[in-house]
């Protein structure tokens, strides 16, 4: 097998074995402690531009499932392609066995020209990333490439789908602002009797007729989404319910007048504990983000809705009088815990109440 090097911006050089595409790439090196769900993780648009380190000891053993559709969208994957720049694992299993496997992980990576490296001590590497923070890095195969910071790119513009798309024929009309939305968000809505209008990140949704507004997850620095923030500021002047997830939470914080900051190494795993403010109730959540809202910068009419119990960071915000709220974590969680999927029901309950109040 071919050899490949993982080189970090601090000078660290790790040699390993190549799988997937034997090519060189650069990006931001981040880690995920999730033990399962690599098909979902690799297709999550929030990982765009990143070299992903998986701490689970063995990867590839259950292969990659075949493509199945549900309501014209993928039944399994989180988007229509792999979004990571590269993959780093401890042990790659060339032999896979699962009832719905259609191909190997290595072959899947080759289809999208994504390189992978294994025979790497990923837990030691993860400790290094925790101490120093997310770093720029590169996988060097045949030819060297320069380091590149994907956070300087407008990643949301790269992953947001162009054009308006419609799904479902339900009773509640929801506009979904696509900043890199995970497919399971669509599934969660479509299972709840809604009509979804999916619009690009910079689309002026304020001109549309809708009952509720949803802001999706996505990659990179939320401050690059100036057009989305401007449209959202207009929406916040009204009373129609708004729900944001991940990047959507950061956009809501910025539109409200707050600020965001980059986390040291981000939150990326399936078992992050969060506590609902004002209660003793804790939830186990799935997360994937590198930025967060600074609660100290929020106006008086906004409060913290959830708090991360590992580091105390803001995990969601809400308006004190209007039906606006957000979560930094993923209530749709695929793969991962589904403890907080009820938040979709809370949002649609608010939508129903708004419609009833305005039909009087």
Whole-angstrom distance, CA of residue 106 vs CA of residue 63: 9
What three-state secondary structure class fits 35?
coil
Catalytic center residues: 246, 330, 332
Q: How far is CA 181 from the centre of its chain?
A: 7
Question: Token pair for residue 69?
Answer: 């559709």
Residue 217: C-alpha distances to residues 47, 244, 310, 331 (Å)? 11, 8, 21, 11
Give residue 306's region: left, alpha or beta (phi > 0; psi -120 to 50). Answer: beta
With vertex at residue 266, the alpha carbon angle to CA 256 and CA 334, rounded to the nearest 5 degrees, is 90
Is there a contact between 139 and 86 (Cβ–Cβ < 8 Å)? Answer: yes
Q: Which DSSP state fits 76? A: S
Backbone phi and psi for residue 300, each to the nearest 5 degrees, phi listed first: -60, -30
Helix runs in 208-341, H state only: 226-235, 247-256
Question: Token pair for residue 55?
Answer: 């701490």
What three-state secondary structure class fits 153?
coil
What three-state secondary structure class fits 69?
strand
């Amino acid at each position: 097998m071919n050899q490949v090097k993982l080189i970090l911006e601090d000078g660290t050089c790790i040699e390993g074995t190549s799988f997937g595409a034997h090519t060189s790439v650069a990006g931001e090196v981040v880690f995920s402690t999730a033990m399962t769900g690599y098909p979902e993780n690799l297709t999550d648009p929030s990982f765009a531009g990143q070299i992903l380190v998986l701490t689970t000891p063995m990867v590839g053993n259950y292969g990659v499932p075949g493509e199945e559709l549900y309501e014209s969208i993928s039944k399994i994957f989180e988007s229509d392609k792999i979004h990571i720049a590269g993959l780093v694992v401890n042990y790659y299993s060339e032999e896979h066995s699962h009832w719905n496997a259609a191909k190997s992980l290595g072959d899947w990576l080759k289809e999208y020209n994504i390189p992978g490296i294994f025979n790497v001590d990923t837990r030691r590497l993860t400790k290094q990333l925790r101490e120093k923070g997310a770093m720029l890095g590169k996988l060097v195969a045949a030819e060297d490439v320069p380091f590149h910071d994907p956070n300087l790119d407008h990643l949301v513009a790269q992953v947001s789908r162009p054009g308006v798309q419609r799904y479902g024929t339900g009773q509640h009309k929801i506009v979904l602002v696509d900043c890199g939305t995970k497919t399971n968000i669509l599934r969660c809505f479509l299972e709840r009797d809604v009509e979804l209008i999916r619009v690009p990140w910079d689309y002026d949704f304020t001109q549309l007729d809708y009952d509720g507004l949803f802001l999706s997850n996505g990659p990179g620095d939320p401050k690059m989404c100036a057009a989305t923030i401007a449209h959202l500021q207009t929406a916040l002047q009204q009373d129609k319910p708004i729900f944001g997830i991940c990047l959507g939470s950061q956009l809501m914080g910025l539109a409200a007048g707050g600020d965001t900051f980059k986390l040291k190494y981000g939150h990326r795993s399936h078992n992050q504990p969060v506590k609902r403010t004002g209660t003793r109730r804790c939830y186990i959540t799935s997360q994937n983000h590198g930025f967060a809202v600074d609660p100290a910068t929020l106006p008086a009419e906004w409060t913290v809705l959830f708090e991360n119990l590992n580091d105390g960071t803001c995990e969601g915000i809400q308006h004190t009088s209007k039906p606006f709220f957000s979560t930094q974590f993923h209530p749709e969680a695929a793969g991962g815990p589904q403890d907080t999927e009820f938040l979709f029901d809370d949002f649609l309950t608010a939508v129903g109440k708004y419609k009833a109040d305005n039909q009087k």
